[in-house]
Structure 1
Amino acid sequence: MEDAIGIVDLFSGPGGLGEGFSRVQKADGRRAFEIDLSIEKDPVAHRTLTLRSFLRKFDTAFPEEYIDFLNSGGTDEPDWEALYPKQWQAAVHETLNLTLGADGTSEIVSERIAEVRRKRGDRVILIGGPPCQAYSLAGRGRKPSDLGYVAHAENRHRLYEEYIDVLRQLRPAAFVMENVKGMLSSSIEKMKVFDLVTKDLAGGGGAAEYILFPLSDEPSFDGEASPRSFIVQAEDHGVPQARHRVIIVGIRRDLSDVKGGVTLPHLPVQTRRATVRNVLENMPILRSGISARGGNRDGTSEWKKTIAAASALISGESLPLTGRSGRDFEMAVKSVSSPRKIVPMLRKGAIGGTALPRDCPAELATWLFDPRLRRLVQHETRGHMPEDLGRYLFAAAWSLATGVSPKAGDFPKTLAPAHKNWTSGKFNDRFRVQPWDRPSSTVTCHLSKDGHYFIHPDPGQCRSMTVREAARLQTFPDNYFFKGNRTEQYIQVGNAVPPFLAWKIARAMLPTLQSLLARPNAAIAGETRTVALT
């Protein structure tokens, strides 16, 4: 029987890209892809990665001890090594906690790549992407005014060379490289970063040549694809989030037969978009916490009084909403005007409420939902300043009435924060609610700092989103456990590739890879010969 296609996953984070690829199945129900090596430098994300790798060692279902652990709220984690030493050691071997390019790592990586090559031959792909901060449009906005500036001192723009180095050594049948779309406009010494990266990728570091193409509806071998055609918009492919990333796919030229008409993978756009409501509406209702700063107390009674006072303040303002929008806004605010009417009292996810809403797209619901779970782990709120709760209430009510998040100019003066530039336009989206009936905005690691950009759309809850809510928007399955404290969990979720999107990409690539690897010029496992380029 045909073996699975191996994977080397670089810059893995908590494993979003690898999770998607590893869950693709062949016609006989077996895994089409199998991760041989994952590398992540952050020790906390690496712990998450190792745990997920361990769970994949159980072919039929996760062990009951893990499900019990999640149902207990994620406390008192079992000693997996003691319970399942064989599976745990295999996971430890698969996942490396290394910084690519650091002193002493190249020998370790080279040895492991050679091991994968001996095991798989050509039946291996490379996935991942260098850290995106240096290419980020938002990041460059905080740098000097030179539009071509990239963080030379941090040297992050050179991390893709580590990817190229692994590409050269591994010589995979194909690769998938992901990065932020800001790399399309970034420059280094007046040269476009995208041109530099694609040139190196196509050359494969000199050991092989790769044909690059986008995952658009009409991919082509002709090399004439525009840079922007490499942008994949996650919301077009079933992800309830507007996340736009550059995805570059390459296949090894000597494995392909261009004249024979290789069918290239592509991602057809879905007509129906998944929304915030599709994945969040049925989750356990929670109240926000109240930050202890300034002597504030956090308790149900204090929270109710704070919300009731904010409701009264907003109700006394004259706002530019008329007709049905005005009435809907007023009703939303008044619904929490009395402490007796305020329903949410919990700060942590209660047992129950794990099912997805009925109108959630079936494929996505199946992906996220685990019927064995009785609760949603890592679904707990954090503390906010009392004055921010009023802003959250206003923003959620505005969104409920209008379908959009309010801008800074829409807020009444009594709710304006003490920022001297509040009305300058720089803080237009400082408080951003995620409306129910559209994909969310891009989930980022900024969620670890505050929740102002991710206000829950239910005015009655008056809070920012939890780690589990952010994870659902990122399409991490409900049984995915993130290690570390809450700040570290937010960072992992925000930095990841949506696993559901990765699964779509892997499914699209599988037929092409199976065709390429069935050809007589593909090396078998154990061979070390060099295949001549065509």
Structure 2
Amino acid sequence: MQHKVPTEALRRKLERLSSGAPPRVLDLFSGCGGISLGFHAEGFRIDAAVEIDKTAAATHALNFHGGDERHSKSRDLTQIEPSQLTEELGLGAAEDAFDVVVGGPPCQAYARVGRAKLRDVAAHPEAFKVDPRGNLYLRYLHFVEKTRPLAVLVENVPDALNYGGHNVIGEIAEALDELGYDARYSLINTAFHGVPQMRDRVFLLALHRCLDNQVQFPAATRHFVLPQGYAGTRAVALKNVDSLFRGAYAEADHGDGSLPLPVTALEAIGDLPRITLHLEGKLKRGARYLDRPIPYPGTQAVSEYALQMRTWRDFEAPTEGLVDHVIRYLPRDTEIFRQMPNGGEYPAAHATALRLFEAALEEMKASGEKLSEAEEVKLRRAMVPPYPVHNFPNRWWKLRADAPSRTLLAHIGKDTYSHIHYDGSQARVISVREAARLQSFPDGFRFCGAMNAAYRQIGNAVPPLMAKRLAAQIRQALQLPRRALAAAE
């Protein structure tokens, strides 16, 4: 049964946008604001966000609302109604407040709740409570149903296409169809769109039918061949994009050899200040706070990408320097970081550590020093990481300067072995600001909390440059033709 949107609410949005007013965004599961930042860059106005993590909510409010306390408040999407949100923020009626709803329901919530239950969202506002395993994306749909945006963006991990044989994104597309939207989704790697990171994510775009416009995904701006591991993961994810949902699926554009290669790690972070305090014995264990500016080096070459990160409108590089160019103190691993090969994973790191240990042992023996068995064990523990080589092959990885980074994950909030700096002379993991650069956050974007919290926020985020590319597609769709207003009659 076709869902009907109230004519007057729809007309008011169309007329407002046709007068030149900026589209208003509601960002659900916003995190620190990767999607919001991309939309902001395309001229959208970020009017509201819902985020349960207190530090991430504070970061979002700091960057988009000057730290306003109303926006800094963390909110649980399962415990608040759209009308409550708009009332708290002084935005008026929920159905009038937003033109676009964006967000990525956390993948941990996915479970087979069934298409019939998804349809219940429109008829029963509390249907999401029936199955708490799936409540987060059901809740997302509930907010869409109540706020009636003209456009919708959903982002998630590739597993959302094949979660125990269950195509969650396909079912969301079907549910949106019932709510009056034409929805399509695609599996896109951000490296094809100017982000210096090989990051596969599913993006769903939906446009309300009153726009009489077709969903289009952005064309690639870069081209290369994904490594074998990424190709395998994509094949598994797409296995369940079956005939039932095939009509809503769109193949991502990968361009061809006429396009430039991806942005490399060197282009992304090579202009940032060297960090050598740990090599000079000036770095100690303990919390790192993002409050001490480090000036940019005056003689370092600046790539086109780095210049973009320094000059992003409204988020320009701070004149006093970078306050979040800080790293973890990992004294055991310094020499391993220095000597392991670029592109090397944990087996290479472990082999490097063993070689260093054996060399130290030989040197001690050659000097006449005798070690007991217990002392040898103690020395090995001090020099060699304890993890089994074959159980954690991807736990460590050293960047290549001439290639984009691997995917940044929230786990970097716990350790950063997955992203060791390519410059062996610095012998370290990447800094908070380097992680932000690889995720395409501009240098003027500030993160609340200490170092670990900042890493986690960055790893959880959608790369702003990718969000910007998608926002441009929505912006184009919202260039309202006269027939859109006629359709509201």
Q: Give the TM-score normalised by structure 2.
A: 0.70
Aligned to 1:408: 347
Query: Per-residue displacement from partner, 1:259-297 (whole Å, max 9, x unpaired)?
Result: xxx57453334222111101211211112649xxxxxxx
Aligned to 1:497: 462
1:110-509 equivalent positions in 2, closer than 5 A: 111=87, 115=91, 120=96, 124-134=99-109, 155=132, 157-187=134-164, 191-203=166-178, 208-214=179-185, 230-256=186-212, 262=214, 264-270=216-222, 271-272=259-260, 273-287=262-276, 289=278, 299-300=281-282, 350-353=294-297, 357-361=301-305, 366-367=311-312, 370=316, 373-384=319-330, 386-395=331-340, 398-399=341-342, 404-406=343-345, 408=347, 411-412=351-352, 413-414=354-355, 417=384, 419=386, 421-422=388-389, 425-509=390-474
Match status 1:48 vs 2:59 = yes
Shift of 1:482: 0.5
2: CA distance between counterparts of 1:356 and 1:508? 35
Preserved contact between residue 18 and residue 35 of structure 1 (Cα < 8 Å): yes
2: CA distance between counterparts of 1:100 and 1:503? 25
Q: Decide whether aligned partners of structure 1 residues 518 and 9 sit closer, same or farther in structure 2, where only a CA change above 3 A counts.
A: farther
Aligned-partner SS, 1:250? strand
2: CA distance between counterparts of 1:156 and 1:299? 49
Aligned-partner SS, 1:202? helix
Preserved contact between residue 326 and residue 451 of structure 2 (Cα < 8 Å): no
1: CA distance between counterparts of 2:94 and 2:78? 23
Shift of 1:112: 6.4
Aligned to 2:245: none
Q: Decide whether aligned partners of structure 1 residues 14 and 409 sit closer, same or farther in structure 2, where only a CA change above 3 A counts.
A: closer
Preserved contact between residue 238 and residue 364 of structure 1 (Cα < 8 Å): no
Query: Per-residue displacement from partner, 1:8-67 (whole Å, max 9, x unpaired)?
Result: 11111111111110121xxxxxxx311221111111111111111234xxxxxxxxxxxx
Q: Which amino acid aligns with 1:251?
A: L
Extract unaligned runs of 5+ from structure 2: 1-18, 112-128, 223-258, 286-290, 357-382
2: CA distance between counterparts of 1:6 and 1:477? 22
Shift of 1:185: 1.4
Q: Which amino acid aligns with 2:173?
A: T
Q: What is the RMSD computed on CA atoms of the aligned residues? A: 3.4
Q: Which amino acid aligns with 2:416?
A: G
Preserved contact between residue 475 and residue 498 of structure 1 (Cα < 8 Å): yes
Preserved contact between residue 239 and residue 498 of structure 1 (Cα < 8 Å): yes
Aligned to 2:123: none
Preserved contact between residue 39 and residue 95 of structure 1 (Cα < 8 Å): no
Aligned to 2:26: 8
Extract unaligned runs of 5+ from structure 1: 25-31, 56-87, 137-151, 215-229, 291-297, 304-346, 524-530
Q: Give the TM-score normalised by structure 1.
A: 0.64
Preserved contact between residue 95 and residue 148 of structure 2 (Cα < 8 Å): no
Q: Which moved more, 1:468-477 or 1:155-164?
A: 155-164
Task: State the identity as a percent.
Answer: 27
Q: Which moved more, 1:165-174 or 1:126-135?
A: 126-135
1: CA distance between counterparts of 2:183 and 2:298? 41
Q: Decide whether aligned partners of structure 1 residues 364 and 299 sit closer, same or farther in structure 2, where only a CA change above 3 A counts.
A: closer
